[in-house]
Amino acid sequence: MRTLTPQARQPRSRCTHKQPCPSADSPDHEAAVAVSAHPEQGWTLLCNGVLLFDDTGELLPDGQVIAPHRPLTATA
């Protein structure tokens, strides 16, 4: 059985925009353009290969997980 590396499964970037979107390893990677959105399932795929989840968690193309980072809500 052949094991694929994360790079073999996912291209580094799917961005073909005239002004390229930030790469997945860039601090502003969430600013990339959405190429597929499924709000009913709670996720959006960006052209740089990042999966954004509605709970603000992320999955990077290399398999790294970024835990949800919601802002704290103000309490009265």
How many helical (H) and strand (E) elements, i.e. helices and strands, does the chain have? Answer: 1, 5
Q: What confidence score (pLDDT) does residue 18 get? A: 78
* 71 within a domain of the structure (yes/no): no
- The residue behind tokens 């799917």 is 14
Q: What confidence score (pLDDT) does residue 51 get? A: 96
Query: Which residue range forms the structural domain that includes residue 57?
Result: 9-14+32-65
* 36 within a domain of the structure (yes/no): yes
Question: Tell me, what amino acid is at 45?
Answer: L
Total of domains in the chain = 1
Whether the model clears a pTM of 0.75, i.e. scores above it, the answer is: no
pLDDT by residue for the chain (76 residues), tens only, comes to: 444 444 434 445 567 777 888 899 999 999 999 999 999 999 999 999 999 999 999 999 999 999 998 776 666 5
* 76 within a domain of the structure (yes/no): no
* 42 within a domain of the structure (yes/no): yes
* 43 within a domain of the structure (yes/no): yes
* 55 within a domain of the structure (yes/no): yes
* 72 within a domain of the structure (yes/no): no
